[in-house]
Structure formats: C-alpha cells, structure tokens
Amino acid sequence: MVSGYKGLGWIAVVAGLGLAADQPPKVVPLKPPAEAEIPEGPVGDAIRLGRKVFTNTPLHAPKYSGNALSCSSCHLEAGRAPNASPMVGLWAAFPTYLPRAGRVGTLEDRINGCFLRSMNGKPLPPGSEEMRGMLAYIWWLSRGVPVGAEVQGRGNPPVTVPAAPDPVRGQAVYARACEACHGADGQGSAEVPPLWGPRSFNLGAGMARTSKATAFVKANMSGLGGSDPLSVQDACDVSVYFTRQPRPDFPDKAKDWPRGGKPADSRY
C-alpha cells in the first residue's frame, strides 16, 4: 500500500478532545473560499502576502528559498486542489505529532520543514512578515472547517502498486508522458518545476520518497497535458526513476526519525 498525506493531526485531536481512538473524524467537503472573499485591511493584506509566498516562493521569499520550487508546486492551485495536499482545514490540524521529527510540532514547524526540504532553503523566522502571511493564508483557507474534521480530498489518494518499481520502465514512461513539460534533463521551465538537479527538492523532502511521489503523480499528473493516462504501475515506475536522480543533500538527515520508524523508501 502506498499512501499519501492523510489525517494529519488526528492523534493530537483525539488526545485533546478525549475521543475514543477508534472514533473516526467527521468528514467535511473541500470548499475553499474564493480569492474575491479575501477581506480588506491588514488581515487581508497578510492573506494576500501569504498567497504570493505560496504561489511564487522564489520571488516573494527570496531570502528563504533555495531552488526553483514554490509551495504550489506540490500543493496545486494555490493549495486549493483536491488530492494534492490542499491547505484547506490544515489550521485546525495542528499541533500534532510529526514522526519524522519525533516530536509534537506546530504549523510553523511544518511550514519550515517544507522550506528546509522541498524548497532546499532556510526557515522563515517566527515573527517575519512571510511567516505571518503564510499562517494568515492557511487560516483563511481553513475557515469553517471544525477542529478534528477530515477534509475530503486531503492528501493524495492511497494506491496499491501491482509490482516492484522499475526505474528502466520509469525512464520510458518519463520520455512518453513527462518529458514534454519537465524536459529531457528534468529541469522544467519557468512554469514547470524541475524534478531533479540543484534547482529541485532535496533528499529530505517527502517527494524524494517513491511512495509519496507515486501517490502524487497518479492523482495529479496522469494524462496531464494530453499525455497518456498513467497506470498505478506507470506512476510508481516513473517516480522511482525521477526520485533517484541527482538532487541536493539534506544536511540534517541524520536527525530524522529519532524514535525509529524510518520508511523503507527513504533516500537515506
């Protein structure tokens, strides 16, 4: 079973509300507010700044961005798309236990984890305008989602892969379905993020794991741009191909999973 992000914060919610561990969370529709609903005034200004940082991180957070990716490279449609780890409802999911860090983390911790790993950059200072904007944007997207609720379309739907991934098959899938947008060298373009190399995510990013990449690719890239629809096996094969390409190291990787439980497909 290959699964994407799902139910972040459930352990913390159970503990905080005294619910039975086997009691399922309430499921609510994914209904992000329209951009036109951003209010005027200082709060609206912070929300708009957060959206800018989210959708063009290198431009609007250049001191903390270390590559060509933005938050919206993985959290599609400005964090609003179903099955692409939307930000909707995330405000009510923290604090929660973060297995990779081995401790309870805040939403700020999770944001900075992405800056360090997916953006291969530096953490946003807690009081910075960029962090305040990111928090305001996620808060605004999450309006109306109750604490403890599970939002439909959160994460990437889990998939079952028929056979072990094969990077040789994956290279052929890449040439057929991905190369037209991401390039033969995987470096993308001004509109398309690079999949490997110095301008892409580092070894510590979740997307560097084949299982995470497979779930994302199958949910969001299959048939994109008129390419052939990808089977689950295709998605897994192409994911093991591009995740194993050269990319930046993550210097603090030795600190990950201090309590054990490191996934088998970790790059380190």
181 vs 82, 186, 187, CA distance in Å?
A: 22, 9, 9
How many C-alpha atoms does 33 have within 13 Å on its Cβ side? 17
Q: Rounded mean pLDDT of the chain?
A: 91
Q: Residue 170: which pLDDT band, with cuts at 50, 70 and 90? A: very high
Domain ranges in the chain are 10-151, 167-249
Instruction: Please say if the pLDDT value at position 251 is more than 80.
Output: yes
In the chain, the amino acid numbered 93 is A
12 pLDDT above the threshold of 60: no
Q: Model confidence over 119-164: pLDDT tens digits? A: 999 999 999 999 999 999 999 999 999 998 999 999 898 899 999 9
Same fold? 10-151, 167-249: yes
Residue 87 region by backbone torsions, left for phi larger than 0, else alpha for psi between -120 and 50, else beta: alpha
3-class secondary structure, 236: helix
- The answer to whether domain 10-151 has CATH 1.10.760.10 is yes
Give the sign of the dihedral formed by CA 91, CA 78, CA 266, CA 197. Answer: negative
pTM (2 d.p.): 0.89
What would the pLDDT profile of 57-76 be if each residue is shown by its tens digit?
A: 999 999 999 999 999 999 99
H/E stretch holding 262 reads none
**pLDDT of 91 strictly over 50:** yes
pLDDT of residue 180 exceeding 70: yes
- Domain spanning 167-249: which CATH class is it, in words? mainly alpha
pLDDT, residue 21, reads: 54
Polymer length of the chain: 268
* Angle CA 62–41–82, to nearest 5: 60
pLDDT tens, residue by residue, 181-196? 999 999 999 999 999 9
